[in-house]
Every structure is written in C-alpha cells, then in structure tokens.
C-alpha cells in the first residue's frame, strides 16, 4: 500500500492572521489594569518573580514559536515540492476522510510537536532566567494553533504518493 501526502493549494495568509491575533491578544491582556493578582503595566500582582517588561519581552518568542509551528505543520502535513502540484490530479476529499488524514499524521508526528514546544519553553526559561512567563500559553496556543491550522485549510488538495505520482 502506498502512503500518501497532501499538497496544499492555499497560502498561509489565514494562518498569519491567526498568529497576529494570538500575539495581539497577549499584548492586550498584558496591558489591562486592574487584574487582581496578575501582572499589569503598574503592578506585579502576586507574581514577585516577574514584571510587565519581562512578560512584554517574552511575547516575541511566542510569535517566533508560532511561525515555527506553522512551518512544522506544513512539513508534517504536506509535500513541499511545488513542481509536483502541476502534474497531479485535484480531488475533493470528504470532511471525515480529511480529518482522519490530519489526525493520523498528527499522531505519527506528535513527538516532533512536543519536542518543538519543549525547545521553546527552554528558550523562554533562558531568556527570563528561569521565570515561567508564558509556559501555559505555549501549551494552550499549540493545541489551538494546530486545530485552527487544520480546520482553516481549504478542502481541495492534490493527493500524491511518496514518489510524487498522482494517487489514484
């Protein structure tokens, strides 16, 4: 049995908008005051180990991570060679079949996703000298991002086998 991969026909513009929304939400949330017990521009709240500036400076790392996560999703779920797209047939895939495809790939690749998240967590801890500014966000955004990545895609793809031949 030949294994197949999809070739994505859409761009990552929608995904870029998702990343921008995620990052904007972090800046907005950080700038709100009052927030009882939480870091604000004028209070550390209950977090004596961090302040507004430490959290503010951690946010670009989250953007870098989400861009890297988008690349990891592209590499995990799709073939990269654009030349393969020209010679293959276009198929419509039923929603259920498409979800089965994405989730089977995700199951195969889950260790790569976990490892990538752990690398970013370590970078955050290095930048903040061991302070956990956004570890929960890295985890939560990872789950949301991959789900939004999968569900925001268009439902027309090119099906190719490992050698780049049309899958029939």
Q: Per-residue pLDDT tens for 133-144?
A: 999 999 999 999
> What digits encode the pLDDT tens for the residues 1-55?
335 566 665 678 888 888 999 999 999 999 999 999 999 999 999 999 999 999 9
Whether 82 shows a pLDDT value over 60: the answer reads no
87-124 pLDDT, tens digit per residue, is: 445 555 566 777 787 888 889 889 999 999 999 999 99
State mean pLDDT over 66-80: 84
pLDDT of residue 139: 93
Using pLDDT thresholds of 50, 70 and 90, give the confidence band for residue 76.
confident
Rounded to 5 degrees, φ, ψ at 35 are -140, 100
| Stronger pLDDT, 131 or 14, i.e. the higher one | 131
- Model pLDDT, residue 92: 54
Nearest to 78 by CA among 14, 17, 168, 9: 9
The first and second tokens of residue 93, run together, are: 């895939």
Contact 39, 27 (CB under 8 A): no
Segment 140-162 shows an average pLDDT of 72
| Residue 147 pLDDT exceeds 90 | no
Look over the chain and give the mean of its residue pLDDT values, rounded to a whole number. Answer: 82
| Mean pLDDT confidence for 76-86 | 56
Going by pLDDT thresholds of 50, 70 and 90, the confidence category of residue 155 is very low
Residue 76: name the closest of 11, 149, 136, 14 by CA: 149
Query: What number of other Cβ atoms are within 10 A of residue 147's Cβ?
Result: 12
């Amino acid at each position: 049995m030949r294994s197949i991969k999809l070739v994505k026909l859409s761009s990552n513009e929608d995904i870029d908008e998702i990343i921008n929304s995620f990052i904007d939400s972090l800046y907005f949330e950080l700038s709100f005051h009052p927030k009882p017990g939480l870091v604000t521009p004028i209070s550390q709240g209950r977090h004596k180990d961090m302040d507004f500036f430490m959290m503010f400076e951690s946010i670009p790392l989250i953007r870098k991570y989400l861009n890297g996560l988008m690349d990891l999703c592209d590499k995990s779920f799709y073939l990269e060679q654009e030349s393969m797209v020209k010679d293959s047939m276009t198929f419509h895939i039923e929603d259920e079949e498409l979800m089965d495809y994405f989730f089977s790939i995700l199951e195969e690749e889950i260790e790569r996703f976990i490892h990538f998240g752990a690398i970013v967590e370590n970078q955050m801890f290095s930048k903040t000298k061991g302070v956990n500014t956004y570890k929960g966000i890295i985890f939560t955004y990872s789950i949301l991002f991959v789900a939004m990545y999968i569900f925001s895609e268009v439902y027309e793809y090119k099906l190719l086998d490992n050698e780049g031949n049309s899958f029939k």
